[in-house]
Amino acid sequence: MTKRTLGIIFGGKSSEHEVSLQSAKNVYDAVDKEKYEVVLIGIDKEGQWHLNDAANFLENRDDPKNIALHKSNKGVAVVPGESKDQLISKSNGEALKQLDVVFPILHGPLGEDGTMQGMLKLAGLPFVGPDVLGSAVSMDKDIAKRLLKDAGLRVADSITLKKHNKDTVTFEEVEKKLGLPVFIKPANQGSSVGVSRAYNKEEYQRGIHTAFRFDNKLIIESAIKGREIECAILGNENPLASGIGEILPQGDFYSYEAKYIDEKGALLQIPASLSDEMVKKVQAEAIKAFEALECEGMARVDFFLLESGELVINEINTIPGFTKISMYPKLWDLEGVSYPELIDRLIGLAIDRHNRNVSLESKYF
């Protein structure tokens, strides 16, 4: 059997750089080397692309707090257009190993928000995960909320602020509309980066300052009291929903450290203790949300389950974490889909979508 060449692109300039390194390590370790020849492309924090060797592409690879990209200094550039020379060496312009499909395991801005997806599309490369539109709207919490509400799904009440109009809404107005406490979140970040919880005016002002360090737009969101449950989605036109997992945070909320660094920062209950009827309800709403945001390939849909039995969507992650303590691969393992098989299915979905798209008639004016 002829091997396919799989490019794993990881790292990036976002604040989730280290998370991406951990995910890439796990994806590389799990991928079936009998079926795929893997090309590792690491993006450093300055945005430079490095062609890496499997033996040393990470430094401190088993230490989440100090994990780092090994800068190979073998610079890589991507060539737009349907070409056999998609990747070239920056040093001499010579063609490098060409790819059949890409797994962009990049979390956050410039990786999960449609920018990387657009570039890969210009290069004519199939890629894992949602297309440009689904990636962009899912990343922006403000836009995602509007689309989910339009689809009849419930989201937490919120106020959107942009940096240029941040003084038009007072703390007193926020408290009156949303109550206390509130969560303050950068609109285009993930993994709880830049997120604060505010119980008073001082914490609110500090949270606003923190969130604007990471984005020019933020949302102030009412705190929802409910169980934190998650569902993994896999597929293109006919997506499948996994069983349901539950997050049991051991701290104030499910922070960045709890998700990716501290294995004791939260407990994952898989499967969640839910009735069969509630499991079906969560799965149906997760698929509805996935389709409302034009997602394909994969996503993880996060909910709050209220005592009343009502579901409130917290967010959708289009490139969910793939670390050893991440919910997405664990939920599919619950369904009998092993980590290597999950990667294989995602690659197949990427190629199927690419073939479907290139079969369309293109007209240039």
pLDDT at 120 over 50: yes
Indicate if 200 belongs to the active site. no
Right CATH number for 138-142+144-153+225-355 from 3.30.470.20, 3.90.45.10, 3.40.50.300, 3.90.550.10? Answer: 3.30.470.20
Indicate if 66 belongs to the active site. no
User: Can you tell me whether residue 219 is helix, strand or coil?
Assistant: strand
CA pair distance 203, 211, nearest whole angstrom:
12
pTM summary value: 0.92
The domain limits of the chain are 4-127, 138-142+144-153+225-355, 157-222
pLDDT at 254 over 60: no
Averaged pLDDT for residues 232-247: 97
- DSSP for 106-161 reads --STTTSSSHHHHHHHHTT--BSS--HHHHHHHH-HHHHHHHHHHTT--B--EEEE
User: Which residues does 280 contact at the CB level (< 8 Å), separation at least 6?
Assistant: none
Indicate if 317 belongs to the active site. yes
* Fold agreement (4-127, 138-142+144-153+225-355): no
Indicate if 364 belongs to the active site. no
pLDDT at 364 over 80: no
What does the pLDDT look like over 155-166, one tens digit per residue? 999 999 999 998
Model confidence at 192, pLDDT cuts 50, 70, 90, reads confident
Q: Determine the pLDDT at residue 251.
A: 61
Q: Among residues 28, 260, 328, 339, which one is catalytic?
A: 260
Q: Determine the pLDDT at residue 26.
A: 94
Identify the bridge partners of residue 240 per DSSP, sorted by sequence position. Answer: 234
Q: Among residues 131, 228, 246, 315, which one is catalytic?
A: 315
DSSP character for 100? Answer: S
Indicate if 302 belongs to the active site. yes
CATH superfamily membership of 157-222: ATP-grasp fold, A domain (3.30.1490.20)
Name the CATH architecture for the domain at 4-127.
Answer: 3-Layer(aba) Sandwich (3.40)
Q: Determine the pLDDT at residue 333.
A: 95
- Helix, strand, coil shares of the chain, percent, nearest 5, are 30, 25, 40
- Residue 185's φ and ψ, nearest 5 degrees, are -130, 135
Q: Determine the pLDDT at residue 331.
A: 97
Indicate if 265 belongs to the active site. no
Q: b/e per residue, 22-38, with b = 16+ CB within 10 A?
A: bbbbbbbebbeeeebeb
pLDDT at 273 over 90: yes
Averaged pLDDT for residues 335-358: 95
Q: Which residue has the tokens 């692309």?
A: 49
Q: Determine the pLDDT at residue 349.
A: 98
Neighbouring CB atoms inside 10 A of 96's CB total 17
pLDDT at 118 over 70: yes
Identify the bridge partners of residue 223 per DSSP, sorted by sequence position. Answer: none
Q: Determine the pLDDT at residue 281.
A: 98
What does the pLDDT look like over 292-334, one tens digit per residue? 999 999 999 999 999 999 999 999 999 999 987 789 999 999 9
CA pair distance 338, 119, nearest whole angstrom:
30
What does the pLDDT look like over 64-117, one tens digit per residue? 889 999 999 899 988 887 666 778 888 888 888 789 999 999 998 999 999 999
Model confidence at 361, pLDDT cuts 50, 70, 90, reads low
pLDDT at 262 over 60: no
Of 235, 229, 351, nearest to 291 by C-alpha is 235
